[in-house]
Structure 1
Amino acid sequence: MTTLTMTTAQVPSRAPSWRQRCWRLCLMLVLLVASLGVTQLAVAQADPNREMTTAAPGITAEQWRQVRSGETGPNYRDSRHESNYNLINASGETWRILRNRWVSPFGLIAVLGMASVITLFYLVIGRKHLDEPRTGRKLFRWSLFMRSLHWTVATLFITLALTGLNLLYGKFVFRTLFGDAVWAWMISASKVLHNYLGPMFGILLIVLLVKLLKDNIPKKHDLQWFKQGGGLVGKGHPDAGFANGGEKAWYWLLATAGLIVVASGFVLDFPNYGQGRDTMQWANIIHAVGALGLTAVALGHIYIGTVGTEGSLEGMTTGYVDETWAKEHHNLWYEEVKDQAISEEELAARKAGGSSEPSTAKPS
């Protein structure tokens, strides 16, 4: 008679202890208090007159009358050679109101709201563990090239998101905390990083999208994936190929809104191609709306791919995933490649031989 034994590492504990419950409750209270501060910051962002008092003091009703009637003289003109553009103009005021009254506050609500929802989800639902024990057999999923490309694009995205948020909101936080000297250095560094890394991100994003295109073509079973909330609704896991419905949605969001953000960023980054200030103003609004929306959704992608789902991060760090993970989350893909599964010993031998990838491995 054979006795089957399992180690504690193979069977994860799914029931949180009383200490974990207390910790989660305390974190929820902190989150609630922090949300009150976010509300106040959003209200402050929605006041366009607050910035106007320091950005352009002394603009009177008579000056606005002159601007709108075309009576402005050289003191109101752009100093560039042969430019007839008025530095004080109605379109600039429209841009300022859109940016300060709508884009800034609602963008802040979207980003911090998503972070709050994710935190609350983790506290209430917890991490998604595998339903069955790991088999220890590995399936190759991501090549070194694709992993390197993914992490490079991800690092650039996070850097651009942080510097962009600093450019938009940092003065309300860091200037108050550290003073003008530190704030001036931070905003200057953020601007340089954002301007120089943006084009690099755009080029590599296009390369990544091209490489992943064939695995992200929508299929009929993706609709069922969304109906089941990726497995949160109903029984069992919905069908999924190499990429599930959620991953495909993120891909096409990057392929549409992401490329729009890149294109508008190029308009802002290279003003020496003849685009006027009105074009730059609209590019700025489009860029901000798209970037803030992508940042909010990216938080969910990051959560699911790291602490939110057991086994997900392994594929993008080692290139291999456990058989159980593949069967539960990408069953259609698993059926195609299950005969290629190797043991941990075989994988270790490959690494010892200088390469952990199959000789016939494809980029994706």
Structure 2
Amino acid sequence: MSHFIDRQSLWRLPLFALLMVIGLAVSSNVLAQADPEGEAATAVPALDADTWRQVRSGETGPNFRDSRADSDYNLINASGETWRQLRNRWVSPFGLIAVGGMIVVIALFYVIIGRKDLSAPRTGRKLLRWPLVVRSLHWTVATLFIVLALTGLNLLYGKFVFRSLFGDAFWASMISASKVAHNYLGPLFGILLIVLLARVLKHNWPKKHDIVWFMKGGGLVGKEHVDAGFANGGEKAWFWVLATVGIVVIASGLVMDFPNYGQGRDTMQWANILHAVGALGLTALALGHIYIGTIGSEGSLEGMTTGYVDETWAKDHHNLWYEEVKEEAVGEEQLAREREGDSGDAAPTRPS
């Protein structure tokens, strides 16, 4: 009986030895993973300074490159570091100086000089300045601009303010909503801005009297009114800034919004820099535009809300235009009757 048991046990010895070998192999891998230095030593050949110089210079083979999405960038992305330095050391401070500086200038201007009031009492006779289609385009573009400016500022600076105030959970939801709104409303803003610029282009061609307007600071220098047509020098300057810088901001935004048309990382990085600098500059100038069109100048806001301006306002700010259309002025009572009859902007005659 014992002889039978011993013979039966002999075949288990090779099986036990095989299990021991497998166990030792598995345990050695586990120990290697638990030891990062040991793992690096067995998984990667020695990485010395010369190897990293090769990686940076682009002379290494495919094992040192990012091959995702047909990319051929090195694992050390020098252009990405350049972009980061530009964004953090130059673009972000520029935005704070431009936007914050404009707010300070506007506040000082209002305190020292104050609102520009009309030079004489209102006559009660109105001139049509902005038809309904232009007003609708203006307010739509203005609303989109404000939303994009706020979400863009949040993307650039918000983490330094709201994250510390409200915590990570609120901040994550806020930044996600800002990014979605910015990405989807940006193209719509671009389309409508181009339509608006095309609609008012005829009023914004430079004229000789615009030079005098700038030399006299729009009327701040001297006591006489400065000649201006339908649009004065400042309004024309704002138009052409939008038509140049604004188009650059739109184009660079589209490059980042649709990254599936073959543009590489370098293109995306430069588009980001151009977009940020242009948008921050426009935001600063827009604050001045908003100030002048609202509390900074009596009667200016009425033109873009009702479409009509008083004769006195037209003579003060756009005297050359007033001389062209003064015969078309209508009284407030007549306008009221037309509005009651659903005439809208259909005045008896329109300015040319």
User: Given the two structures, how large is their TM-score scaled by the length of structure 2?
Assistant: 0.82
For the pair 1:281 / 2:273, whether they are aligned, the reply is no
Q: Is 1:167 aligned to residue 158 of structure 2?
A: no
Picking from 57, 77, 80, the partner of 2:66 is 77
Aligned to 1:10: none
In structure 1, give the amino acid aligned to 2:176: S
Query: Which amino acid letter does the alignment assign opposite residue 320 of structure 2?
Result: L
235-244 or 309-318, which deviates more: 235-244
Paired AA for residue 280 in structure 2: L
Pairing 1:151-190 to 2, within 5 Å after superposition: 151-190=139-178
Instruction: State how far apart, in whole Å, the 2-side matches of 1:208 and 1:63 are.
Output: 56
Of the three residues 309, 316, 339, the one matched with 1:328 is: 316
Among 131, 134, 150, the alignment partner of 2:122 is: 134
Counterpart of 1:31?
Answer: none
- Find the counterpart in structure 2 of residue 215 from structure 1: 203
**What is the CA–CA distance in structure 2 between the aligned matches of 1:62 and 1:319, rounded to whole Å?**
71
Structure 2 gaps of 5+ residues are 1-47
Report matched runs for 1:256-295 at 5 Å.
256-295=244-283
CA spacing shift, 1:109–1:361, aligned 2, 3 Å: farther
The match for 1:314 is: 302
Name the CA distance, whole Å, in 2 between partners of 1:306 and 1:114: 16
Q: Please show how residues 4-153 of structure 1 align to structure 2 within 5 Å.
A: 65-70=53-58, 71=60, 74=63, 77-80=66-69, 82-86=70-74, 88-153=76-141
Q: Is the 8 A contact 2:125 2:311 kept in 1?
A: yes
Instruction: Check the 8 A contact 2:210/2:228 in 1, yes or no.
Output: yes
SS at match of 2:295: helix
**1:348 equivalent among 324, 336, 339:** 336
Report if aligned partners of 2:212, 2:226 keep a CA contact under 8 Å in 1. Answer: yes
Q: Following the alignment from structure 2 to structure 1, what is the Cα–Cα distance between the partners of residues 96 and 61? A: 37
- Cα deviation per residue 1:149-171 (whole Å; 9 max; x = unaligned)? 00000111111111111000111
Secondary structure at the aligned position of 1:307 is classed as coil
Distance 2:113 2:164 in 1: 37
Distance in 1, Cα, partners of 2:344 & 2:173 = 44
8 Å contact from structure 1 (residues 239, 332) kept in 2: yes
Q: What do residues 246-289 of structure 1 show as CA deviations (whole Å, max 9, x unaligned)?
A: 00000000000110111111111110000000000001101111
| Letter paired with 1:228 | K
Contact 1:67 1:89 in 2 (8 A): no
Match of 1:239 among 227, 232, 247: 227
Kept in 2: contact 1:128–1:308 (CA 8 A): yes
Q: Which amino acid in the other structure matches residue 79 of structure 1?
A: R
Give the CA deviation at 1:108.
Answer: 1.1
Larger radius of gyration: 2
CA distance in 1, matches of 2:50, 2:157: 32
Q: CA deviation at 1:83?
A: 2.8
The alpha carbon displacement at 1:77 in A equals 1.7
Contact 2:249 2:279 in 1 (8 A): yes
Instruction: In structure 2, give the amino acid aligned to 1:107.
Output: G
Q: What displacement does 1:131 show?
A: 1.0
**Partner SS for 2:309:** strand
Residues 87-132 of structure 1, C-alpha deviations (whole Å, 9 max, x = no match): 5310001111111100111111111100111011111111111111
Other structure's SS at 1:243 match: coil
Distance in 1 of aligned mates of 2:168 and 2:68: 28
1:49-84 Cα distance to aligned partner (Å, 9 max, x none): xxxxxxxxxxx988863531334865762533x432
DSSP-derived class of the 2:95 partner = helix
Q: Is the 8 A contact 1:78 1:86 kept in 2?
A: no
Q: Displacement of 1:237 after TM fit?
A: 1.3
Could you say if the C-alpha distance between residues 354 and 239 of structure 1 is closer, same or farther in structure 2, counting changes exceeding 3 Å? same
The whole-number CA distance in structure 2 between the counterparts of 1:241 and 1:254 is 20
Alignment partner of 1:297 out of 285, 296, 305: 285
TM-score, structure 1 normalization: 0.80
Separation (CA, whole Å) in 1 of partners of 2:105 and 2:49: 45
Does the 8 Å CA contact 1:66/1:72 hold for their aligned counterparts? no
